[in-house]
């Protein structure tokens, strides 16, 4: 595996051609210098998602790390009553038949300003299984034909959390980490560009997913389905993806503006506990 040294200590090892890299020789729980934070941010922009192993930090340190990249985003529909709203604990217990993130998605795409990214820390993981796949939506967009790019250039997609929260969803059945289903829950629906421009790199990416995207603006679900399904399937072709195998103490930090991800549901007999903080973003354009 080729390795590019980007400072005297921090190094980066790409995992795949389109997306993903492992960073080493950094303690994320420490008081990192501005230069190191800048290097991590640049690696995130270059690779879409960055991974770390052998980390050990508590909730307070997790928050301090996230705040170096932006404000903390409060998740709107996970049931965190009685818990710290800035933290989402993702539990998977033996026998669960549904898991958080079981479809390809960009996080929380139905809000006006979806999070720019998330930092996920592995507390307890199975010996094998429970991997996470990531897909570069910038590479997916670039690989489209010129005709398809013209066709979707001005389309907007309506995103809603109706499939993943509220009284009509089945996601809470046999799932330890629950979405809100209380009477005060109201669906959130927002239209975003199908092709979004990254606010830092200027690169264009596809922006639609299985969890939230329900139809094109001004069209019915039936009318939207053929093209929308095509774009969502296209965006997760193998050549746009990487696969990350978790260990206790592993961390994934992904750019939610240009990647999608999915949790692999193949560790049914094991417990998996993860701690996640999301970082606030801006409205897609």
Q: What are phi and psi of 213, to 5 degrees?
A: -80, 120
CB atoms within 10 A of CB 81: 9
Element (H, E) at 21: strand 21-24
For 70-135, the three-class secondary structure string (H helix, E strand, C coil) is CCEECCCCECCCCCCCCCEEEEECCCCCCCCCCCCECCCCCCCCCCCEEEEEEEECCCCCCCEEEE
Whether 203 sits among the annotated catalytic residues: the reply is no
Helix extents (H) in the chain: 34-47, 59-67, 137-142, 146-152, 221-234
In DSSP terms, which residues pair with 277 in a beta bridge? 119
Active site (annotated) includes residue 47? no
**Known catalytic residue at 98:** no
Cβ-contact 188, 110 below 8 angstroms? yes
**53 in catalytic set:** no
Q: Could you say which of 62, 139, 198, 261 is catalytic?
A: 261
**119: how many CB neighbours lie within 10 A of its CB?**
21
Catalytic residue among 75, 210, 272, 276: 276
Task: Return d(Cα 130, Cα 239) in angstroms, integer.
Answer: 21
The SS3 of residue 263 is: strand
- Residue tagged active-site, from 47, 75, 96, 107: 107
Catalytic machinery residues? 105, 107, 261, 276
């Amino acid at each position: 595996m080729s390795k590019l040294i980007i400072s005297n200590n921090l190094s980066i090892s790409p995992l795949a051609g389109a997306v993903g890299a492992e960073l080493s020789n950094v303690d994320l729980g420490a008081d990192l210098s501005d230069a190191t934070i800048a290097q991590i941010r640049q690696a995130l922009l270059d690779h879409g998602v960055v991974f770390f192993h052998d980390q050990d930090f508590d909730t307070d340190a997790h928050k301090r790390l996230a705040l170096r990249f932006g404000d903390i985003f409060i998740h709107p529909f996970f049931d965190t009553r009685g818990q710290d709203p800035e933290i989402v604990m993702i539990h998977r217990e033996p026998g669960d038949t549904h898991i958080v993130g079981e479809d390809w998605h960009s996080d929380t795409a139905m809000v006006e300003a979806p999070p720019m990214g998330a930092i996920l820390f592995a507390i307890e993981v199975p010996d094998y299984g429970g991997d996470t796949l990531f897909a570069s939506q910038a590479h997916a967009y670039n690989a489209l034909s010129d005709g398809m790019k013209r066709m979707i250039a001005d389309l907007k997609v309506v995103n809603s959390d109706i499939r993943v929260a509220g009284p009509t969803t089945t996601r809470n059945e046999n799932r330890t980490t629950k979405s809100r289903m209380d009477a005060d829950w109201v669906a959130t629906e927002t239209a975003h560009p199908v092709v979004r421009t990254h606010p830092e790199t200027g690169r264009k990416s596809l922006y639609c997913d299985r969890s939230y995207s329900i139809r094109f603006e001004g069209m019915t679900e039936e009318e939207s389905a053929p093209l929308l399904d095509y774009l969502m399937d296209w965006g997760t072709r193998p050549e746009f993806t990487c696969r990350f195998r978790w260990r206790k103490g592993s961390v994934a930090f992904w750019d939610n503006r240009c990647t999608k991800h999915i949790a692999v549901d193949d560790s049914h007999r094991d417990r998996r506990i993860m701690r996640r903080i999301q970082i606030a973003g801006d409205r897609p354009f």
